[in-house]
Amino acid sequence: MEKVKVAIIGSGNIGTDLMIKIIRSSEHMEMSVMVGIDPNSDGLARAKRMGIATTHEGLAGLVDMPEWAEIKIIFDATSAKAHQYNWGIVEKYPDKRIIDLTPAAIGPFLVPPVNFDANHNVRNVNMVTCGGQATIPMVAAVNRIAKVHYGEIVASIASRSAGPGTRANIDEFTETTAHAIEKVGGADKGKAIIILNPAEPPVVMRDTIFTLSEQGDREAIRESIHEMVQEVQKYVPGYSLHQEVQFDDIPKDKPVFIEDLGYRHGLKTTILLQVIGAGHYLPEYAGNLDIMTSAAMATGDKLATMDVAAM
């Protein structure tokens, strides 16, 4: 089967890991060009050694390359600010899609097992954040059984796995993730917290999800969560429950106060996850970066399948 040619903008850790994933295991995509702005970056050097065309002149350099004409999907692994510029160029070419791995959120949020079908025709989709990719499937799993009023997530990642891009986008991380908990996860109100854990040796990504929902069948909620975990594991094998799902009643006579929602009662569900990276380019403790690149590749492969079918 003919593969769809793709380019990656951003030759840092995320872009390089994504490149290696695509080369090693993508069923429907073929790496065409790696794009960076630092001619001495390890990502560009690795791409050259692997026979991939490169440019250190950013997206403008890619547009001037002969490969540009055949590229159908562009992955943006730069920054929220840079993505605004990049999309301003790509949107002028109607035959090309962009998958945004930054917190820019110009396009709709996309979490593959939750809302791919609703967004497969959109030319710019946003992969939310690492915390969002890990936790929103769990909020959605609860919400499809019992309406979620409030969803709060705490993402704890190794400090070593938080590069300059992650650190520069902390505010965008919390705002984007909280908004996506509502838009994609289905919660009336979302909140996100990120913790950079300085422990040595570095710890793997851990995520805690709290939901307050209407009362529902606890066994059905538990089964829905386990089913969703299995869906995510199809593209992130290191994604798993760290402990069994926990339930607590918030009685009507002892409600909790939630900002913007007021006093609420119902069923509190606590979900504890861990994400171990695949170790393709990044260390296994960098599960936060691995889940982003894995989700992006899963999205790209699905989109590529549709593009091939349309040829």
Distances (CA, A) of 233 to 25, 63, 181, 237: 15, 36, 20, 4
Query: Which of 73, 104, 130, 181 is flagged as catalytic?
Result: 130
* Sheet (strand 71-76) strand order: 53-55, 29-35, 4-9, 71-76, 97-100, 124-126
Nearest to 209 by CA among 235, 227, 190: 190
Q: How far is CA 66 from the centre of its chain?
A: 30
Cβ contacts of 45 within 8 Å, gap of 6 or more: none
Tell me if residue 242 falls in helix, strand or coil.
coil
Phi first, then psi, for residue 310 (nearest 5°) are -85, -10
Tell me if residue 128 falls in helix, strand or coil.
coil
For residue 219, give both structure tokens.
Answer: 């066994």
- Helix and strand counts by DSSP (H, E) for the chain: 10, 14
Identify whether 130 is a catalytic site residue: yes
Cβ contacts of 227 within 8 Å, gap of 6 or more: 141
Catalytic center residues: 130
